């Protein structure tokens, strides 16, 4: 929603929007540190939930703060004062970067908690349930956004937009933190984490340096890291421009473009359910992940071609199919991700995989907005469709790269490499 408002209603350059929002992911190396800290430094006997709550409180507060900063920057652009513009851009970048740190602080221990509380057989069902509920949240959020902001259809006056968006974001932040508090209450038992039987002190004994040795001991870590980069980029390169695509090519108002996320979310929810309950158990993790990548590629090509018609209903159908493909690929990929993780240093490994996903989303936001600007600059007289088609076509090429990398991933090789290294690291750390 904010992408669309900044690009279309406020007229911000695409590279600025994508670059500023990408800072949320560029701070992702902190995920490794936060994961290791949550492994080794409990609060009140708990390793995960205190960090989840602290991160949630911070990112909810920063999300609200972002709204007035966006409109202050718009006023600075209107005044053409270089100092005010520079200060406004710096302030937005700083808040988005802090927001990214807060998200990393909350989400890395959260995924590590999934590993702590499940075994290998339970994990696919847990992943399916978690991501189904995540997608339900996206759908509910998109519908709520569409309904609450329906009165802004056709409005571009900043004095009208700012108070409505600020009030809406404040209410959302309060609801999100309240749900987080309720959901984490009592979920993590005090004391030692599940599945750590070799040494009572292991979680405190393995330092960040030792955990890094485990991460770098297998070439499969790098291969899967690159696959996650490509897969996530293939899904999210369109993220900063999709709602503007609906606005400029399909002539949809703000409320209608906000509803596009709900359609994508419903498709994703169905894909997660189909993959978790049927495809992954039936086909296996690798075959399901491969099918998901193939369907994402087809969906992106359809997303390019549907723009030629300018028909909103056709766009909605393609976005539903894109969501279905995303759900199938995401479920299988997450199960693979959790299999390529050592329970002894779960937080640190999750931090690495989160880093791959975050950097690809950051790159997607920069490339999505930047390529849109480049295409407009190269073809100043072209219609609105061409720049968006260029971005979506590149995204399809990246989906092909993800398929190639997936074929090089081997869970057995990862386990063989890390098992030997784990014994060596533990002997050194505990000796």
Ordered by start, the domain boundaries in the chain are 2-185+205-426
> For residue 23, what pLDDT is reported?
80
320-365 pLDDT, tens per residue? Answer: 999 999 989 988 888 887 777 766 666 667 667 767 777 777 777 7
Q: What is the CATH number of domain 2-185+205-426?
A: 1.20.1250.20
46-83 pLDDT, tens per residue? Answer: 888 999 999 999 999 999 999 999 999 999 988 888 88
Phi-psi region of 410 (alpha: psi -120 to 50; beta: other; left: phi over 0): beta
End-to-end CA gap in the chain? 54
CB 240 within 8 A of CB 17: yes
> For residue 203, what pLDDT is reported?
40
Q: What is the full DSSP assignment across 158-198?
A: HHHHHHHHHHHHHHHHHHHHHHHHHHHTTTS-SSSPTT--S
Between 404 and 12, whose confidence is greater? 404
User: What are φ and ψ of residue 46, in 5° steps?
Assistant: -120, 135
Closest alpha carbon to 203 in 186, 216, 191, 213: 191
Global pTM reads 0.67
CB 221 within 8 A of CB 336: no
Question: Could you tell me the two tokens for 194?
Answer: 């599940």
Question: Could you tell me the two tokens for 266?
Answer: 């419903």
d(C-alpha 94, C-alpha 358), whole Å: 17
The whole-number average pLDDT for the span 283-291 is: 90
CB 105 within 8 A of CB 54: yes
User: What are φ and ψ of residue 11, in 5° steps?
Assistant: 70, 30
Contacts of 410 (CB under 8 A, 6+ apart): 220
């Amino acid at each position: 929603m904010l992408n669309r408002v900044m690009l279309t209603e406020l007229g911000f350059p695409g590279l600025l929007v994508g670059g500023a929002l990408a800072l949320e992911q560029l701070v992702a190396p902190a995920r490794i540190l936060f994961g290791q800290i949550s492994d080794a430094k409990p609060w009140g006997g708990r390793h995960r939930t205190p960090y989840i709550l602290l991160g949630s409180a911070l990112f909810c507060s920063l999300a609200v703060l972002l709204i007035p900063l966006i409109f202050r920057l718009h006023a600075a652009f209107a005044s053409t004062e270089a100092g005010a513009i520079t200060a406004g851009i710096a302030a937005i970048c700083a808040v988005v970067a802090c927001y990214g740190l807060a998200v990393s602080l909350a989400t890395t221990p959260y995924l590590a908690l999934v590993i702590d509380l499940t075994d290998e057989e339970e994990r696919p069902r847990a992943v399916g349930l978690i991501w189904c509920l995540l997608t339900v949240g996206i759908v509910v959020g998109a519908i709520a956004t569409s309904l609450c902001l329906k009165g802004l259809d056709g409005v571009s006056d900043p004095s009208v937009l700012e108070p409505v968006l600020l009030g809406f974001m404040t209410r959302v932040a309060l609801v999100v933190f309240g749900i987080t508090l309720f959901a984490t209450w009592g979920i993590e038992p005090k004391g030692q984490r599940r599945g750590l039987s070799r040494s009572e002190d292991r979680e405190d004994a393995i330092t960040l340096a030792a955990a890094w040795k485990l991460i770098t001991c297998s070439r499969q870590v790098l291969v899967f890291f690159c696959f996650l980069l490509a897969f996530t980029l293939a899904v999210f390169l369109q993220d900063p421009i999709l709602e503007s695509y609906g606005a400029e090519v399909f002539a949809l108002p703000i409320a209608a473009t906000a509803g596009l996320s709900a359609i994508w979310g419903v498709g994703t929810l169905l894909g997660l359910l189909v993959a978790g309950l049927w495809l992954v158990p039936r086909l296996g993790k690798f075959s399901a992940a491969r099918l998901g990548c193939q369907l994402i590629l087809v969906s992106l090509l359809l997303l390019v071609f549907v723009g030629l018609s300018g028909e909103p209903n056709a766009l909605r159908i393609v976005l539903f199919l894109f969501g279905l493909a995303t759900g199938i690929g995401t479920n299988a990929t997450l199960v693979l991700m959790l299999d390529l993780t050592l329970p002894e240093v779960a937080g640190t490994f999750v931090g690495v995989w989160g880093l791959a996903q975050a950097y690809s989303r950051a790159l997607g936001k920069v490339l999505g907005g930047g390529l849109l600007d480049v295409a407009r600059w190269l073809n100043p007289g072209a219609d609105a469709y061409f720049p968006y088609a260029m971005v979506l076509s590149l995204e399809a090429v990246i989906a092909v790269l993800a398929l190639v990398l997936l074929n090089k991933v081997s869970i057995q090789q990862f386990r063989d490499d890390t098992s030997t290294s784990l014994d060596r690291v533990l002997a050194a750390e505990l000796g």
